[in-house]
Amino acid sequence: MKKIFNITKLDHFGRGISRNDEKIIFIENALPKEEVSVTNIVDKKNISETTADEILKKSSDRRDTTKLCKYYGVCGGCNIMHMSYMCQIEFKRNKVVELMKKFAGIDESKIKDIIPSLEFEYRNKITLKVKEKIGLLKNKSYELVNIDSCSISRPKINEIIGKLNTLKFENIEEIVIRCGYNNESMVVFKCCGDIDIDYYLSSLKEYTDTLVMIKDGIENVIFGKGYITEKLGKYYFKISPLSFFQVNTTTAEKLYDVVKEYASLDSTESVLDLYSGTGTIGIYLSEYAKSVLGVEINSEAVEDAKENVKLNNIKNAEFICYDIGKMKKECNNIDVAIVDPPRSGLSKKALLNISEIASKKLIYISCNPSTLARDLNLLKDKYYLKELTPVDMFPNTYHVECVCLLNLR
């Protein structure tokens, strides 16, 4: 049976909010001031969830996604593409403002306008599932959606996806495609058994610069260098098959420029780069610092960071493999500390260690404003927030990055 709802506002996942009898109902593919009809409602203990089947009264902020992506609403990748980009930007900033006020007591005046991004063709990486065919998983499902392109991925990636769709797959569970500087590309097969190497070598050699297979955690380079190179500013970075690198290179450079502005270095400061990954932030700032120490728990990422130091002829940066939660308390005389933790935010031990290091400035980069607000509240006795800049690293999704400048009290 069809039911009709009027949408009042959005939740932090970009879903429309209305009421279903006494319960709040969250409706995907719905915008404020819209009237929508739904059929399948999932009732939970305190809430209901569903997806809009038909938009009876459209918002002026809605756009026709059929012209943007033929898989939107089917695959589980993007979730707010139906919003105009200006609406997306407003939604994300409002989300940050609400979370910071509710959980950290931060006034909106501390939060700058969001830095926008290219809406499409921005991703330098895609991970495809393999179940006879290749594709992405359907939203909230393990069902595979076969795709021949992805509108938010770079054209080179889509060229490779097109070729992969002509191939047969056996003992391959996942395929990662990465694209770097000057369209240099890498295809990574994650395997659960032996594969026909000659078949894939002959099929893909004209389409990608390097092909790597990973089986039982062991990397085997089938052809090419086994890595690609990406560029941020004037610096070059080696990207291994599984190493972390920001998926939106152009906007990542804008984010790092905010970090550089907040650090305001004059070549006399010691910088501590925590959760340093492959060394991108530390290397990006090295020209302006006296010294940079990067700390990262992933040993492969640390090895990449060391390679990137050599690649860029950096003399004042060092990267070590260490658990930030167990970090020695002897990190004295740190002028600027930078943290870029995972979505789960800072652990209790990491928070304690950061407080004891007591750098004059703390720059917190976050991909999850909820855990960021929690951590800022926990740090408030030691640091105060001077400014926060949201950055739209992931257009057409509800995700938003934030860069915070905190000063020692």
Instruction: Just list the catalytic residues.
Output: 367
CA distances from 275 to 43, 322, 350 (A): 40, 10, 11
Tokens of 185: 């590309």
Tokens of 276: 């340093």
Query: Is the distance from CB of 227 to CB of 207 less than 8 angstroms?
Result: no
Joined together, the tokens standing for residue 15 give 């879903």
The letter for the amino acid at 62 is R
Minimal CA–CA distance to 280: which of 315, 242, 307, 241? 307
Euclidean distance between CA atoms 282 and 119, whole angstroms: 28
If phi over 0 gives left and psi between -120 and 50 gives alpha, with beta otherwise, what is residue 15? beta
User: CA–CA distance from 323 to each of 55, 157, 245, 281, 385 (Å)?
Assistant: 50, 35, 20, 18, 26
Percentages helix, strand, coil for the chain, rounded to the nearest 5?
25, 35, 40
Give dist(CA 339, CA 402) in Å, integer. 12
Distances (CA, A) of 126 to 2, 133, 152, 203, 247: 37, 15, 10, 20, 9
d(CA 91, CA 11): 9
Residue matched to tokens 């929690």:
374
Q: How far is residue 242's CA from residue 219's CA, in Å, rounded to a whole number? A: 10
